[in-house]
Amino acid sequence: MTTTATDLVPFDEALERYDPVMGLEVHVELNTATKMFCGCPATFGGAPNTNVCPVCLGLPGALPVVNGKAVESAIRIGLALNCEIAEWCRFARKNYFYPDMPKNFQTSQYDEPIAFNGWTEVEVDGETYRIEIERAHMEEDTGKSSHVGGATGRIHGADYSLLDYNRAGIPLIEIVTRTIEVPGEKAPAVARAYVQQLRDLVLALGVSDARMDQGSLRCDVNLSLKPKGATAYGTRSETKNVNSFRSVERAARYEIGRHAAILDAGEKVVQETRHFHEDTGTTSSGREKSDAEDYRYFPEPDLAPVSPSRMWVEELRGTLPEPPPQRRRRLQAEWGFSDLEMRDTVGAGALELVAQTVSAGAAPQAARKWWLSELARRANEQGVELVELPITPEQVAQIQGLVDAGTVNDKLARQVFDGVLAGEGSPAEVVEARGLAVVSDEGALSEAVDRAIEANPDVAQKIRDGKVAAAGALIGAVMKDMRGQADAGRVRELILGKLS
């Protein structure tokens, strides 16, 4: 880092003087059964170097063969983003040396991407923003390196590195936006909304698990600032290692503040790659990009051109899911959510989760309630995304089902959530194991009510005198007695019945 400006300019202040210009590069790891250019399983995890062959290891003499399913997925992603699909395109070699790349070139696409000139619309706070998509192209993933000997397990200060090539060759689709110029205060949120929407799209297409925390959805945030009134674009930085939707927003905000501080100080922004740190929400300097590795692109001679017939493209167009804005409107109508409720749901990245919970049988408002309050709170506490919580929409629906059936009340339901999230089992198993079921035994309830009346004669008298509101204190006493495992409504009925 060569800048002397170490303070960030506060976000709002920065926006007074500068307009942010963003570009987002998102990599989607496809969920095909096999890799992009060979028949090795494309699975997550597994013992090192067990899913490799001469092709993805880059052994001398090995040759690639294109996975047709990956091409199909690439076209569908392109269509879902309203792109034109190339009539004829090729793969190209991107040549550079790095130990996680077995051939020391990446087979990718260069000036002939399979999809280009698209767009998608995202909604933030009730406003619609159109994001232009420059291109979507096919490429292959690299192997994974782990660094041994350094303090943090990161590359700096490591003694040596260990390479696992299971991931090498897994298909990736890279989606690149054109410059995004939206009102400054909205920019970070728009960036986040875009990545969330890509995730939703890709999930709806069924082509990827799209998990940022697992690396099947990756985002690089490019950002530069334009002084207000200027026409020339500023120097941009590229931030990598952005591992959640929230981090997309945080990284954008941080970079806006950092660039502003540099420019305010009259210095130049360094064109570089930066690394985002989840724990601090800051970025640090990586490799200077002005070195501009010369990738010496040329068309891949080992592969034939890809020229999808227009008929095939139309066939695939027929398999597309509903466009997101249309889907949101339909769901909102089906669920009866207000605009604000819908906005909050989308904003929390909970749209798909709520939809799946409703599909699993829960009422929409209940689904929304659980995801946006109870579970969102826990996700925030742990610093993870909703989708990373160890609970499924089906389980949430089951818990609501238990509430609907009267087996537990709301308060007890929260304990069921605790249990499921702690890995104690399914909702039913947790209720059983922890003995959380609401006591429906009238006799036991009646006895508990009697005990509460006896223990609180003054309150009881007030109720007899007509102060129905005082029943609340007795209800509380009974609930405490029953360790919460009573239906508050029934308790109230019993109290009033006995004291009327």
Partner 1 sequence: MPDSPHDDPRSAAVAAGTPQAITRDDVAHLAGLARIALSDAELDRLGPELSKIVEAVATVSQALEGREDVEPMSHPTPLRNVFRDDDVRPTLTPEDALAMAPAAEDQRFLVPKILGEE
Partner 2 sequence: MTDLISLNAAGLADELASGGTSSAELTRAYLDRIEAYDTTLHAFLHVDAEGALAAAHEVDRKRAGGEELSPLAGVPIAVKDLFCTVGQPTTCGSRILEGWVPPYDATVVSRLRRAGLPILGKTNLDEFAMGSSTEHSAYGPSRNPWDTERTPGGSGGGSAAAVAGRLAPLAIGTDTGGSIRQPGALTATVGVKPTYGGVSRYGIVALASSLDQAGPVTRTVLDAALLHEVIGGHDPMDSTSIDAPVPPVVEAARRGDVSGLRIGVVKELGGEGFQSGVQARFEEAVELLVGAGAKVVEVSCPSFVKALATYYLVLPSEVSSNLARFDAMRYGLRVAPEDVDDPSAEQVMAASRDAGFGDEVKRRIILGTYALSSGYYDAYYGSAQKVRALVARDFEAAFEQADVLVSPTAPTTAFKMGEKLDDPLQMYLQDVATIPGNLAGVPGISVPAGLAEDGLPVGFQLLAPLQADDRLYNAGAALERLLLEKWGGPLTPPEVMA
Q: Which does 41 bind (CB under 5 to 8 A by kind): partner 2, partner 1, none?
A: partner 1
Both tokens of 141, joined, read 């993933």
Binding residue (CB under 8 A) for partner 2 from 61, 443, 457, 466: 61
Q: Which of residues 441-500 bind partner 1 (CB under 8 A)?
A: none
Helix 187-205, helix 245-264: angle, nearest 10: 150
How many residues make contact with partner 2 (CB under 8 A)?
A: 29
158 part of the interface to partner 1, by CB under 8 A: yes
How many angstroms separate the Cα of 167 from the Cα of each of 34, 337, 369? 11, 42, 39
| Residue 307 binds to partner 1 (criterion: CB under 8 A) | yes
CA distance 60 to 324: 46
Q: Does 102 bind partner 2 (CB under 8 A)?
A: yes
CB-side neighbour CA atoms (13 Å) of 200: 28
- Residue 352's CB: how many other CB atoms inside 10 A? 18
Name the minimum Å distance from CB 34 to partner 2. 14
Provide the minimum distance between the beta carbon of 29 and partner 2 in the complex, in angstroms, as a whole number.
23
Q: Tell me if 71 contacts partner 1 by CB under 8 A.
A: yes
Residue from 181, 288, 302, 314 touching partner 2 (CB under 8 A): that is 302
CB of 65 or CB of 455, closer to partner 2: 65
| Residue with Cβ nearer partner 2 (66 or 376) | 66
Neighbouring C-beta atoms of residue 293, cutoff 10 Å: 12
Report in angstroms how near the CB of residue 29 gets to partner 1 at its nearest.
15
CA-CA distance, 270 to 239, in Å (whole number)?
A: 13
The neighbouring-strand residues paired with 283 are 276
Query: Residue 148, interface with partner 2 (CB under 8 A)?
Result: no
Residue 220 and residue 22: Cα distance in Å, rounded? Answer: 10
Distance between CA atoms of 22 and 233, rounded to whole angstroms?
11
- Our finding on whether 147 is near partner 1 (CB under 8 A) is yes
Is 318 among the residues that bind partner 2 (CB under 8 A)? no
| Residues 318-357 interacting with partner 1 (rule: CB under 8 A) | none
279 binds partner 1 (CB under 8 A): no
Q: Does 301 bind partner 2 (CB under 8 A)?
A: yes
User: Taking the CB of residue 469, how many other CB atoms lie within 10 A of it?
Assistant: 9
Residue closer to partner 2, measured from CB, 66 or 265: 66
Cα of first residue to Cα of last residue in the chain, in angstroms, is: 77
What is the total count of residues that contact partner 1 (CB under 8 A)? 63
Q: Which residues of 53-76 are buried (b: 16+ CB within 10 A; e: fewer)?
A: eebbbbeeebebebbebbbbbbbb
**484 contact, one of partner 1, partner 2, none, CB 5-8 Å limit per kind:** none
Q: Which of 41, 46, 68, 99 binds partner 2 (CB under 8 A)?
A: 99
Asked whether position 111 contacts partner 1 by CB under 8 A, the answer is yes
Q: Which of residues 434-473 bind partner 2 (CB under 8 A)?
A: none
In 3D space, the residue among 183, 142, 148 whose CA is nearest the CA of residue 166 turns out to be 142
In the block, residue with structure tokens 């410059």? 179
Q: Single out the residue of 1, 33, 65, 455 in contact with partner 2 (rule: CB under 8 A).
A: 65
Contact yes or no for 95/297 (Cβ under 8 A): yes
Cα dist from 238 to 178, 220, 409, whole Å:
14, 7, 49
| Interacting residues with partner 1 (CB under 8 A) | 32-34, 38-41, 47-54, 57, 65-71, 90, 97-100, 104, 110-111, 134-135, 145-147, 149, 155, 158-165, 176, 273, 275, 286-287, 294-297, 299, 301, 303-308
Residues at the contact surface with partner 2, assessed by CB under 8 A: 54, 57-66, 93, 95, 97, 99, 102-105, 161, 163, 294, 296-298, 301-304
